[in-house]
Each structure stands twice: as C-alpha cells, then as structure tokens.
Chains A and B, each alone.
Chain A
C-alpha cells in the first residue's frame, strides 16, 4: 500500500526562527507529485507548496521551501522566519498516476509558534 509517514506529531518553534517538518513516503512509481497542506482551526486545507518528482530543484514559496530527496523518498518542509499565523496542522501528501486523482495524506504535524 502506498503510505505517507509524518514522524513528528507535534513541533514547536519560536517566532522568527526556522523549523523543519519531516515527511517520508512509499511508492514504487517514478512519476508523482508531492504537496504540503496547512490546516488551521478553520479546517480548510490550504496548499502551501508542491513538488514534481521529475524536477530535481527544490520548490520554494516565499518563507516555505522543501528538501526533496527522491532516492530516500523524503520530502521535508522548512519554514523560515516563523510567524504566529503559521501555527496549524501540516499535512504531507502525494499523488501518483496510478492513484488517479486521489491524494494520499500523512497523519499530520501540529506546529505551535511561540511568541
């Protein structure tokens, strides 16, 4: 079965500091898409960043960047200059052509940002 593992149920960071959230996944396919979603208490899942597996360059979106290690099947999220508004549940997910349109999500990491 295809799986996503987020080994850190909870993480905390001081405001303005940097934090890295871990994610590993398991697929036998070579072509797939990886995502990080943020879920605040409002429950709405918000796309933070995405990565195409065929691209070697790590994706960046402002303060958010990823460390994509394809051979290790690792896809970590780095948040720089953490802000209070970054506090939320973060989910790693991926989609493969074999899975159709479905996303497979990890169990999430609860991020707390301390002032």
Chain B
C-alpha cells in the first residue's frame, strides 16, 4: 500500500478481554516496528521485526503481549487479559530494510486502545 495502515483505528474493550491490533506496512518494507504511546508521553518501543522474525522484542512489557508477522508483511499485536494500564495508542512503523531506519520510519496513524 501507499502508507502504513493500522486497524482498527479505535478499540474499546473490557478489562480481561483479548485484543488483536493489525498493521499493514508499506509494500516491500522488510522492517516493521511497534511502539506504544501513553497519554502525554512519547512513543516507547515494543518490538521490531526483520522479515518474519522478531529481531528485538525487549520492549514488550510482559508475557501478555505478543506479536507475529507470519508472512513478512502484515503484523498482529496481541494482548491477552487486558488491563486498564494497557490503554494507549499503539503505533506501527515500517522501513525498507535494516539500516534504512537511519533515514526515519514511516508510521501509521495508530490504534487507540481503551480498556474499561
């Protein structure tokens, strides 16, 4: 696609439920990143994929968070047993390949997750 697409744009879920957030990167971009942006804060790194594999998942806060990218394009961020503290905007970004991030990523518009 022309840009990074994230769906849904907004998601409201009840505490304890499971959610999936989807990211469709720019066609041909092998590197994909997830960030979490809490209210009034800058984005914080969660995980980075190079192709199908998670090259760096050190930013995932705990084992309730998991992400996959099975075919090296679309990625899904999965959150189990959601908590109110998980409420945030989840941003996805992509870049052409490793090293290209030195020129900046292309971000999507994010998914605003609200846990009630």
Contacts and interface: CB of A to CB of B under 8 A. Distances in A.
B56 A95 contact: no
Contacts of A100: 48, 55-56
Contacts of B44: 105
Interface stretch (A11-19, A38-46, A62-70): A38-46
A106 B42 contact: yes
Chain B interface size range: 20 to 34
A111 to B, nearest CB: 15
A95 B42 contact: no
Interface residues of A, number: 24
Nearest to B31: A101
Contact of B93 (A43, A45, A108): A45
Given A100-B55, A102-B48, A105-B43, A95 B101 contact: yes
Interface string A71-84: 00000000000000
Interface of A: 4, 33, 35, 37, 42-47, 50, 52, 91, 93, 95, 100-108
Given A33-B102, A47-B104, A107-B41, 10 more contacts: A37-B107, A45-B43, A47-B105, A50-B102, A52-B102, A95-B102, A102-B48, A102-B56, A105-B44, A108-B42
